[in-house]
Amino acid sequence: MNHDSTDIRCRFDSGVHVLLVDDEREFVQTLAERLQLRHMDTAIAFDGSAALQIIQQDHPPQVMVIDLKMPGMDGMQVLQQVKQIQPHIQVIVLTGHGGEQDREHCMAAGAFAYLQKPVNINQLSDLLKQASQH
């Protein structure tokens, strides 16, 4: 598999369309598989630049799940740009490194929700469904 920063995996067929943005490849690939088992279509971007390319395609995701700490463009920058480019896309921040101040900044910037890793997959699945209908 190609592991450069522009590596993008995209699969939007039916149901809830989710874009997962995280530089932790094994984590995000496992999360994608678990969401697909819950009948959600997923795309994966391993960095913020790739995520911004995906949301500008013909069929953008309904919901994005982004990590805060990524090399290059961090999650807050991605959130802010998504809200400028495609404000209807709901963004859930899922991070292992953030604190209360990060949560407040993300929510003020338009995040739908802010969660800490590790996340309960059922809780995340429910939030994704809520966000897709928002």
State both tokens at 134. 């928002």
11-63 pLDDT tens trace: 444 578 999 999 999 999 999 999 999 999 999 999 999 999 999 988 899 99
33-45 pLDDT tens trace: 999 999 999 999 9
Residue in this structure with the two tokens 């590790």, named with its chain if needed: 118
State both tokens at 109. 């910037």
Residue 2 maps to a domain: no
Residue 36 maps to a domain: yes
Query: Do 68 and 93 touch, CB atoms closer than 8 A?
Result: yes
Residue 1 maps to a domain: no
82-106 pLDDT tens trace: 999 999 999 999 999 888 999 999 9
CATH of the domain at 69: 3.40.50.2300
| Helices vs. strands in the chain: H and E counts, helices first | 5, 6
State both tokens at 69. 């700490």
3-state class (DSSP) for residue 32:
helix
Angle between helices 121-133 and 25-36 (to 10 degrees): 70
For 93, half-sphere exposure in the C-beta direction (CA atoms, 13 angstrom radius) is 30
Single-letter code of the amino acid located at 98? G
What is the four-CA torsion angle of 78, 79, 82, 84, rounded to 10 degrees? Answer: -110
Residue 48 maps to a domain: yes
Residue 18 maps to a domain: yes
> Whole-model pTM?
0.88
Residue 3 maps to a domain: no
Structural domain of residue 21, as residue ranges?
A: 8-133
